[in-house]
Structure 1
């Protein structure tokens, strides 16, 4: 049974306005320890989707992997029984929530490899506004190492090209290779210089295990490396879909490459994207 927690209405409105919000001490040590155990399993047995990126030889690595919840029981328990799906429903203002996938992110001590500025929804074959991620650290995260969000960017009309984490180069449009795609959105480059020169306010927090950052899939974000000489920055980021989320097409190979057998326009609910929470 999904666990529920008390959330103040003003915090929900902050999410709706800014596209990202920190919620303190919402996961008990039980869930933090369980997720940490699941992350260790994933690090020991990466999937075909995993990456291990290093900026310079001899430095720490930035590891990421996803779509392993079907075999990592700790992740499955967290998805179906922790407060995560209730939080997603509350902040998205959705009557029903399905689970999209989980994403493990680990920056080892001494990792200078950064996470490039991007927004997530352009990578995914998902359209809709009730779409969010829960970024849950299992290690203390100082403010200077935490992910940064461009406040209010989920409300911008622009869609941005997804970028490869290894090279920070834009994805290639398939139409340039003669392939047809139904996605008619106009994608543009991320305004990196404007972001980094302070045109818009940035949100960034110090986090402790048990805290969670909830953010919209269109909120532009990036993250520094991990300058600590001893502490990992291990995070489980889970992706959640609400009432209006439907399968879509993109003009490139989507990441992760899963569609649940659905057709474009169909609601993103199926065995691959199971309903986890329903207010009724």
Structure 2
């Protein structure tokens, strides 16, 4: 068990698919990640987006898969508590790093994040997974991410949605795709009527851990003066294998592996922590 967790937190994660863990990251990691985000903003990748609505003063910026070129992120991946925490939450013998995702809602950015779950975006199958959502600014409950508790246990897959338009990804015919039935994401009203909604006010040092099949969404940033900067890191457990989706995945990388191969076999997805350590 990680020193940062209790058995209750692990049980809550496995039951609800989302938990808040307080005071995990010290000032060193907070400052290090902020430096990495600043470096990312100065040199965004081809994956980056900056979304804004007409007449909106703030934008919603996101970018991912830059950790190898941003030393602060690389250090966080290899040396922070994140990998050990995820292994305990997943009930996995080890933690493999998948990718990082920078998410910034600038002050007054009213761009909503639509309800979705993450795993359908990825070419990854398996149930042992975890995302660590690490805020670098205080996030009050009014602008917090919302999670549909226990939705990861429904055994349902949902079509991914574009954040800019909230429309589903285009489906491509592909004979190699997994035999998975993909559903439209339910309406906001349906989700609120049928699930307990979890949300957490968080501050720098805290994190939210959530399962990649947990439905979640977020309001815009209501603050007129403070951005909401977040580093979200994606971690995979010992049952994670390459899958195939009927759309262009995001990120579109399989680490050079074939369908069904375990992700730990690829150097693209480094093994960061094992129980033997």
Which TM-score bucket, shorter chain as reference? Answer: over 0.9
Per-residue CA deviation, residues 112-171 of structure 1 (Å, 9 max, x unaligned), is: 101110000000000001011000001001011111100000001211000001000001
* Corresponding residue pairs, total: 274
- Name the counterpart of 1:271: 267
- CA contact under 8 A between 2:102 and 2:230: conserved in structure 1? yes
Give the structure 2 partner of residue 212 of structure 1: 207
Superposition CA RMSD, Å:
1.1
Match of 2:155 in 1: 157
CA distance in 2, matches of 1:18, 1:101: 23
Measure how far apart 1:173 and its partner are.
1.1
Return the TM-score normalized by structure 1.
Answer: 0.96
Whole-Å separation in 1 of the counterparts to 2:148 and 2:245: 24
Q: In structure 1, which of residues 119, 122, 125 is the aligned counterpart of residue 123 of structure 2?
A: 125
Partner of 1:240: 235
Separation in 2 of the partners of 1:119 and 1:213? Answer: 15
How far is the alpha carbon of 1:182 from its aligned partner? 2.1
- Among 63, 66, 78, the residue aligned to 1:65: 63
- Tell me, yes or no, if the aligned pair for 2:56 and 2:110 is still in contact at 8 Å: no
Q: Is the 8 A contact 1:84 1:134 kept in 2?
A: yes
Write the distance in 1 (CA, Å) between the matches of 2:195 and 2:113: 19
Aligned equivalents of 1:146 and 1:140: distance in 2?
10
SS at match of 2:269: coil
SS in 2 for 1:206: coil
Residue 195 of structure 1: how far off its partner (Å):
3.9
The residue that corresponds to 1:199 in the other structure is: 194
Contact 1:110-1:228 at 8 Å conserved across structures: yes
Which residue of structure 1 aligns with residue 78 of structure 2?
80
Normalising by the residue count of structure 2, what TM-score does the alignment of the two structures yield?
Answer: 0.97
Whole-Å separation in 2 of the counterparts to 1:62 and 1:196:
24
- 2:192 and 2:124 map into 1 onto residues whose CA distance is 31
Question: Secondary structure of the residue that 1:22 maps to in structure 2?
Answer: strand
